[in-house]
Structure 1
């Protein structure tokens, strides 16, 4: 696998566009289009929140029906969640407008929305934006990056990555973009991710690849513990690479799944590190577990702990908060066997051994915790399994952003 420059337009046959439709923001682009020259097999995972936004309901119908997808239309600013039949009708109107503008079937259009819950979309602005997007689309990498910017809400930067692999004698490309900064606690945030590939692969195999990988990537991040109404991850494959079909359980599948994992993990970490008001990406690695589920439960509990997150914000090596978070996670372990470390580009320091504090330099620990990426490593000494989870520190900035989010 080779990481390359690009995002959703990196793969053969995919185009993108962005525009400022004035849906909520008046000073930025707020709509994006991803389009494939050929219909795609599609896979998706969606929020487990009982309250599901209209675009989630629309997209699930398309994905569950195993229909071909040729376009994704995304808006930011308004989530189109808790909007009743009117909101769902707006999805249909958007798909119909995209179908007319692009010359494709409306049922081949999927929708993404992110922003304020409870507001109705200004549908005429949305439909006008769709027409502009159809005219502006092209396959340039710049257009892909612009699309990634257009789907941002409180994000501070666009999030995209691409990679190439060899399948047989053919080069297969996978690229993706994502957004997410607050209301991030996926359980498949407001989290959207769109992955494109030119691979030849069946729909069921594609869905298995995505569903399996989401468990170790997007479902292992948390900013604030809130699972959004709009969480959506879509994976589209148009087959233009012309490779021998990738089949589940083969070496070629493992290669494809590995590249997909690299992109999903990168995007997930970018979302976690760009949490609202955050100054640091917090990674928790738990080692020495009996099985993966134990490790994942412990790691996720660490990054979800508000007290741990505030300690990281203050560069305070308050290790008791971490051990406490592990203790209420529901996973069983012996706290008197735990070793704990802090690590960053500034170095690595052991804080506790066998559940007891070691003598260490508070100044050195603060220096390590002052970096933009900080890792907590916990070894519970019970086996060989491990897992990682990602979050961020919790600062006053989070309150500042969310106290007046609707204004």
Structure 2
């Protein structure tokens, strides 16, 4: 699904970008993106819960727990640097040191993220000469920001960017983000990387709380294939300075969280729309849950069901697959109270399927974006989840990924 964007993270004041080929990808496409802050930034992060974690995740977590400020973020694509042992961690730190040397900052003020093939040694020393050229090419133009978002991509088909202006209380600023991801997408985090930057002055504790809050209805509410990467990372930086900073107690904190969530959700939806081989974007809205956990169980079970996803791909009007997925989700509900709508058409109510004529069914299933509404009628909890169809192209892309 083609969704090119001309919006750039460089719309956030104080951010410059560079991108290019440093020696990872075999076809010499751009494989590195560098994001530089004029001022060292407060840092928040949320990372994969997969116990098989890339060296870059371990490195970024160490910086987060150490309360480090961040001067730059380097994202490389083509090699995940996961399952590479102590040498892999040394490679990540060598790249951080290479950037730091050029920027005259400390190596632990540089975050390095990787994405790509798992289990292949990186041999970072061979990348350093071109990496130095990358630092020298940093620019504030919109084109530089889009090029950096493009260099992050692996199986993605378009760069993913989002920007919001925010005016709240005494503060005015920008929030901008980039993301990559098309496969290995599933909550805990949904391979997927994202960097979001704001020029507002936000206290580090508030920044982390805001990010955790924003990730829940965005990156943790999407699924392409049910797989969680060892590299998943969402980084949030705040470059604003001054004696007055936004804290959790500030009246502006809620507005900041709302704007941040909008950016995160827009990026997350782009990841789903760019799901490997995807032809349809499916929004699953669950209402009337007895608990928040029940809402998540139903949404996740439906979103990850291969039978549901292939039915959407084949435009096969088969609501029985959705009701079956709901039934096995483990959520509490009474079947006779359940209501299911697909594309605005009620297809299940009072414990039975409704009659839907063939023309209506074809019209609903032929849409590129389809909303599924599930009302459990068991409580007041609600939530949304975003997924895509499962296609022949997905199988082909992933069966040939390392070849």
TM (normalized to structure 1)? Answer: 0.95
1:292-303 correspondence runs (5 A): 292-303=292-303
The alignment status of 1:391 with 2:387, answered yes or no, reads yes
CA–CA distance in structure 1, aligned partners of residues 221 and 399 of structure 2: 26
1:123-134 correspondence runs (5 A): 123-134=124-135
Q: How far 1:243 sits from its partner (Å)? A: 9.1
CA–CA distance in structure 1, aligned partners of residues 263 and 250 of structure 2: 20
Cα RMSD of the aligned pairs, angstroms, is: 1.6
Deviations 1:259-312 (A, max 9, x none): 000011111111112111110111110112223322122112111111100000
- Structure 1 moving runs of 4+ over 4 Å: none
Give the structure 1 partner of residue 285 of structure 2: 285
Give the structure 1 partner of residue 103 of structure 2: 102
Deviations 1:157-197 (A, max 9, x none): 11000001113343211000000011111304410000001
Q: Secondary structure at the match of 1:160?
A: strand
CA–CA distance in structure 2, aligned partners of residues 168 and 251 of structure 1: 8
Give the structure 1 partner of residue 313 of structure 2: 313
Say if 1:169 and 1:243, in contact at 8 Å, map to a contact too. no
CA–CA distance in structure 1, aligned partners of residues 66 and 364 of structure 2: 50
CA–CA distance in structure 2, aligned partners of residues 135 and 274 of structure 1: 32
1:5-84 correspondence runs (5 A): 6-84=7-85
1:8-407 correspondence runs (5 A): 8-240=9-241, 244-343=244-343, 348-407=344-403
TM (normalized to structure 2)? Answer: 0.96
* More off after superposition, 361-370 vs 242-251: 242-251
CA–CA distance in structure 1, aligned partners of residues 386 and 147 of structure 2: 26
Q: Secondary structure at the match of 1:208?
A: helix
CA–CA distance in structure 1, aligned partners of residues 115 and 196 of structure 2: 17
Q: How far 1:331 sits from its partner (Å)? A: 1.4
Deviations 1:217-258 (A, max 9, x none): 111111111110000000000115x69421214431110000
Say if 1:191 and 1:228, in contact at 8 Å, map to a contact too. yes
Q: How far 1:385 sits from its partner (Å)? A: 2.0
Q: How far 1:366 sits from its partner (Å)? A: 2.1
Structure 2: stretches of 5+ with no match in the other structure: none
* More off after superposition, 14-23 vs 124-133: 124-133
CA–CA distance in structure 2, aligned partners of residues 16 and 213 of structure 1: 24
Q: Secondary structure at the match of 1:251?
A: coil
CA–CA distance in structure 1, aligned partners of residues 386 and 233 of structure 2: 19
Q: How far 1:73 sits from its partner (Å)? A: 0.6
Say if 1:17 and 1:146, in contact at 8 Å, map to a contact too. yes
Q: What is the number of equivalent residue pairs in this alignment?
A: 399
Structure 1: stretches of 5+ with no match in the other structure: none
CA–CA distance in structure 2, aligned partners of residues 211 and 294 of structure 1: 20
Say if 2:332 and 2:378, in contact at 8 Å, map to a contact too. no
Q: How far 1:27 sits from its partner (Å)? A: 4.5
**Residues 380 and 61 (structure 1 numbering): CA distance in 2 closer, same or farther, change over 3 Å?**
same
CA–CA distance in structure 2, aligned partners of residues 149 and 73 of structure 1: 13
CA–CA distance in structure 2, aligned partners of residues 307 and 330 of structure 1: 18
Say if 2:190 and 2:220, in contact at 8 Å, map to a contact too. no
Say if 1:8 and 1:34, in contact at 8 Å, map to a contact too. no
Q: Secondary structure at the match of 2:108?
A: helix
CA–CA distance in structure 2, aligned partners of residues 118 and 189 of structure 1: 20
**Residues 297 and 129 (structure 1 numbering): CA distance in 2 closer, same or farther, change over 3 Å?**
farther
CA–CA distance in structure 2, aligned partners of residues 142 and 310 of structure 1: 38
Say if 1:17 and 1:136, in contact at 8 Å, map to a contact too. yes
CA–CA distance in structure 1, aligned partners of residues 24 and 267 of structure 2: 26
Q: Secondary structure at the match of 1:275?
A: coil
Q: How far 1:92 sits from its partner (Å)? A: 1.0
